[in-house]
Amino acid sequence: MVTWAFSKSSAMKHFLLLLLCISTVKSLSDYDEEEESAHKSQVDARSHRPVDRRREPIPTLRPAPPPITGGGYRARPSQPLSVQQKKLERKAPDAGGCLHADPDMGALCPTGCVLQDTLVKQERTVKANVKDLGTEVDSFSQRTSSNFQYMRILKDMWTKRQKQILDNENAVNGFSSELEKHELYIQETVNTHIPNNLQVLRSILENLRSKIQKLESDVSAQMDYCRNPCTVSCSIPVVSGKECEEIIRKGGDTSEMYLIHPDGFVKPYKVYCDMKTENGGWTVIQNRQDGSVDFGRKWDAYKNGFGNIASNEDIKKYCGLPGEYWLGNDKISQLTKMGPTELLIEMEDWKGDKVKAHYGGFTVQNEGNKYQISVSKYRGTAGNALMDGASQLVGENRTMTIHNGMYFSTYDRDNDGWITSDSSKQCSKEDGGGWWYNRCHSANPNGRYYWGGHYTWDMAKHGTDDGVVWMNWKGSWYSLKKMSMKIRPFFPQQ
Ligand SMILES: [Ca+2]
């Protein structure tokens, strides 16, 4: 048994040696090949020359000589027992608790070792997994920490929100109390003040209604009064004459309405005589004082005269108050042509200031000569508008406002100095009355009557200075309160 075991062991040993040799040779061979391969790839390429098959013949193999036979080594002696026993007593390394029946034949109990190897092999994977788990645990821990921080932030926010809600509630309560105050105030206002104001407004309305009713009744009374032509019953003085100067020389020394009879070719007519101003004897040919008469009239009205000569005072029976009127161009012409005549123009502004313009010579031609005017010998305080034109203007602008020598014009008879093919361009149309217009005026005694004096272009009908104007005293945009023209036969004053 032992011999067999030995022989068997020896045979196995030789087999192993053979395998070792084969393995070594094979290993060497493999190494050489690897070396050669590495050499091929790494050494200079000039050591290898490929064949050019078109020029060189392919090399042929030569036969090898037979191997040597006979003789050789003697048989190898057997190994000592002690060595074999030592080998039997040799224990295999304890690898995972496994027992080996024959240590030279390998392991008989592979389970523990395989398990160990398996475990060792799995250890890397498990380690990697454990590492991954650790990473995940760290990440989770970080996330948990983040969540915790987030929760803390949320908690802080919640606390702040609750404080804000509390503050808002306080503010709302404050506003509510303010609103209650305002509501109370509004209720008081609605219940108390508005009724009081309404009562005041109602009383004002009632007052206005009563005033309107009174005005309506006054208007109605005036309409009834004016339904019939206004008649003045004045006792005309018995004394008469060719004109007022002759009447005063005959004893008529009160200023009132008289009947005059200039010559035998015309009927006697009424006129107002001023027997006080500058020694009296003045025949009033024009008078403005209250705007009661419209002076925007046609040629024939100016030719024959219009307006109210005079009126009586409440108690007195004679007509001592002059009215607004234009005596008439025919009468004026006839009076001035009887002999040398002087002209007195008096005017008064709305403050009561008075000025006058006196012309020592004054003549008006007849209708055939378009009632051409001529004046001379100015003296006075109003400024010589009729002869010199408007003192505010210079050169041609001033001379075209001179009235001396001009024909008489009305809005239906254009004889002015404004020569134009446009028939609408007429001084009388634009300036409101009949007058000796040039282009157009410095004085406009028959213009439109404006209460208060000052007026503006947008108040005027044509945007022109159409008021009762004497430019040399008050300028273009002031309409005088009073304006009168009186004539008297010229005679040397004593
Ligand atoms: Ca003209």
DSSP calls for 467-482: BSEEHHHH-TTB--SE
Please tell me the distance from the alpha carbon of residue 315 to that of residue 318, in angstroms, as a whole number. Answer: 9
pLDDT of residue 128: 84
Q: Which of 86-100, 130-144, 401-415 has the highest mean pLDDT?
A: 401-415
The token pair at 259 is: 């009947």
Q: What is the pLDDT of residue 143?
A: 85
Nearest to 348 by CA among 236, 210, 473: 473
Are 260 and 241 a contacting pair, CB within 8 Å? yes
Gap between the Cα atoms of 87 and 102, Å rounded:
10
pLDDT averaged over the chain? 82
> Which of 106-120, 129-143, 268-282 shows the highest mean pLDDT?
268-282
Distance 411 CA to ligand 1 centre (A): 10
Predicted pLDDT of residue 21: 41
- The pLDDT assigned to 23 comes to 44
Question: How far away, in angstroms, is 396 Cα from ligand 1 center?
Answer: 17
Candidates 287, 280, 286, 257; CA nearest to 269 is: 257
- Does residue 407 carry a pLDDT above 70? yes
| CATH (residue range 244-489) | 3.90.215.10
Any idea where the domains of the chain sit in the sequence? 140-229, 244-489
Whether residue 85 is predicted with pLDDT greater than 60 in this model: the reply is no
**Cα of 72 from ligand 1 centre, angstroms:** 174
For 347, list phi and psi in degrees, rounded to 5.
-145, 155
The separation between CA 211 and the C-alpha centre of its own chain, rounded to angstroms, equals: 45
From residue 120, give the alpha-carbon distance in Å to each of 113, 117, 129, 184.
Answer: 10, 5, 14, 93
- Tell me, what's the pLDDT at 63? 59
Q: How far is the CA of 471 from the centre of ligand 1 (A)?
A: 21
- CB atoms closer than 10 angstroms to residue 309: 21
Ligand 1 centroid distance, CA of 425 (Å): 6
Give distance in angstroms: CA of 439 to centre of ligand 1: 8
User: If you measure from the C-alpha of residue 428 to the centroid of ligand 1, how many angstroms do you get, rounded to a whole number?
Assistant: 9
The residue count for the chain: 494
CB neighbour list of residue 9: distance below 8 Å, 6 or more residues apart? 84, 104
Write the CB contacts of 270 (distance below 8 Å, at least 6 apart in sequence). Answer: 236, 257, 258, 259, 260, 309, 310
> What pLDDT, on a 0 to 100 scale, did the predictor assign at position 323?
95
- The pTM is what? 0.57
Which residue from 244, 445, 438 is spatially nearest to 356, judged by alpha carbons?
Answer: 445
pLDDT of residue 87: 53
Distance CA 167, CA 453 (A): 71
Distance (angstroms) between ligand 1 centre and the Cα of 299 equals 15
Distance from the alpha carbon of residue 318 to the mean position of ligand 1, in angstroms? 44
Identify any residues that bridge with 270 across adjacent strands, giving them in sequence order: 259
Question: Which two tokens mark 73?
Answer: 């080594």
Going from the C-alpha of 134 to that of each of 90, 122, 125, 138, 147, the distances in angstroms are: 45, 18, 14, 6, 19
- Quote the ligand 1 centre to 468 CA distance (angstroms): 21
Instruction: Give the lowest-confidence range in 65-69, 132-136, 288-292, 377-381.
Output: 65-69
Say what the pLDDT of residue 132 is. Answer: 86
Please tell me the predicted confidence (pLDDT) of residue 433: 95
Q: Phi-psi category of 141—alpha, beta or left, where left has phi over 0 and alpha has psi -120 to 50?
A: alpha
Measured in Å, residue 438 CA sits from the centre of ligand 1 at 9
Compute, in angstroms, the gap from residue 114 CA to the centroid of ligand 1: 144
Cis preceding-peptide flag for 440 (omega within 30 of 0): yes
Alpha carbon distance 438, 403 (integer Å) = 6
The residue type at 406: M
Tell which residue, 86, 107, 82, has the closest CA to residue 97: 107
Q: How confident is the model at residue 425 (pLDDT cuts 50, 70, 90)?
A: confident
Torsion of CA 100, 101, 106, 107, to 10 degrees: -40
pLDDT of residue 82: 56
Interatomic CA distance for residues 17 and 24, integer angstroms: 10
Q: What is residue 193's predicted lDDT score, i.e. its pLDDT? A: 82
Mean pLDDT of 461-485: 95
Spacing, Cα 405 to ligand 1 middle (Å): 15
Residue 228 per-residue DSSP state = S
209-231 average pLDDT score: 83
63 and 50 in contact (C-beta within 8 Å)? no
Determine the residue type at 115. L
The mean per-residue pLDDT over the stretch 278-286 comes to 96
